[in-house]
Amino acid sequence: MRTAPSRRSAVVRRKRKPADPALAWARRLARYRPGLVDDTRAAMRAMYGTPTWRRVHDPTSELVLTILSQNSADINAEKAFDALRAHFPSVSAALEASRVNRPGWGGTGIEGGAPPDWSAVENAPIEELIDVIRPGGLAPQKAPRIQASLRALREARGDYSLEFLGELPPMEAVAWLTAIGGIGRKTASVVLLFCFGTPLMPVDRHVERVAKRIGLVPPKVDLLLAHDMFLHLLEPDQMYEGHVNLITHGRQTCHARKPACHRCAVAPRCRYVDPKAP
């Protein structure tokens, strides 16, 4: 004789929502190393001040400049961008006397003035474009990436403007940019943070190195997950300051080789200096 199923077994149990590893890390850090984020921010402010957001480049120029800087020194990316402007001048290509630069950038700045003629850049023979941006390094990889980005933008929007991204929620804007081949989370976050003040935290090699040494993120964390972790570690209005000061710290103090720990204000709480730092 078959017995009726119990009331409990008849209830369809809801599946638990998978844990958010980024949120879990933020909670763990707050529990076992309380105040670490605030202490790090305060130490960085003492060393480098509090940066104030302002737009320096238009978003399409920022995107192309960031592509040119991938796996290359910033100063070489600047040379390549200036070469683009000279070789593919736009109608209003008069240059300003001064060079412009944004906080956290490692070069000397690019020439002020109008951006290149993006249509001419997109439609140039690939070998010609490679030759123009060769000073930036890895030109055979970056030239097709730049043209593909410009083409995707024109086909989706009818022009080369990325201004519409400032009206989208942060992660929608990230998704739109990263849908373009060759545009990753860091590049998308750089464009959105510096052009619109979107509360995102780009994690480049300097930010990654500093954050792992201090212990803000785990030592073997995937970079994509590190981006998400910072969204839980910092408040929206702290993202710009956090990125600029961490990258500045990586360039000026926490070098890849021979970091200047003796003059680092974060040293008392840094796990690189003391593996048991609180």
- The pLDDT of 78-101, averaged and rounded, is 79
Tell whether 91 and 209 lie within a shared domain: no
Tell whether 140 and 245 lie within a shared domain: no
Tell whether 71 and 175 lie within a shared domain: yes
- The pLDDT of 82-104, averaged and rounded, is 76
Residue % of the chain over a pLDDT of 70: 91
CATH number at residue 70: 1.10.340.30
Tell whether 229 and 142 lie within a shared domain: no
Give yes or no for residue 142 having a pLDDT over 60: yes
Q: Has residue 170 been placed in a domain?
A: yes
Q: What is the pLDDT of residues 115-127, one digit of tens each?
A: 999 999 999 999 9
Amino acid at 240: Y
Q: Where residue 108 falls among pLDDT bands split at 50, 70, 90?
A: confident
Best CA proximity match to 139, nearest among 98, 97, 186, 84? 84
Task: Specify the higher pLDDT residue, 34 or 113.
Answer: 34
Task: Specify the higher pLDDT residue, 256 or 6.
Answer: 256
Q: Helix, strand, coil proportions of the chain in percent (round to 5)?
A: 55, 5, 40
Task: Specify the higher pLDDT residue, 94 or 149.
Answer: 149
Chain center to CA of 114 = 24
Give yes or no for residue 148 having a pLDDT over 70: yes
Q: Of 150, 174, 196, at which residue does a domain stop? A: 196
Q: Where residue 168 falls among pLDDT bands split at 50, 70, 90?
A: very high
Q: Where residue 2 falls among pLDDT bands split at 50, 70, 90?
A: low
Predicted local confidence at residue 96, as pLDDT: 52
Tell whether 136 and 80 lie within a shared domain: yes
Tell whether 158 and 216 lie within a shared domain: no
* Tally of structural domains, the chain: 2
Predicted local confidence at residue 15, as pLDDT: 64
Tell whether 168 and 143 lie within a shared domain: yes
Predicted local confidence at residue 117, as pLDDT: 97
Residue % of the chain over a pLDDT of 90: 83
The Cα 28–Cα 210 span in angstroms is 19
Q: Has residue 27 been placed in a domain?
A: no
- The pLDDT of 46-66, averaged and rounded, is 96
CATH number at residue 213: 1.10.1670.10
Tell whether 154 and 213 lie within a shared domain: no
- CB < 8 Å & 24+ apart, contacts of 203-208: 203/227, 203/230, 204/247, 205/250, 206/246, 206/247, 206/249, 206/250, 206/251, 206/254, 207/243, 207/246, 207/247, 207/250
Give yes or no for residue 12 having a pLDDT over 90: no
Please give the residue range of the domain that contains residue 251: 34-52+200-269
Q: Of 156, 171, 196, at which residue does a domain stop? A: 196
Q: Of 163, 196, 229, at which residue does a domain stop? A: 196
Best CA proximity match to 33, nearest among 215, 158, 204? 215
The Cα 230–Cα 109 span in angstroms is 28
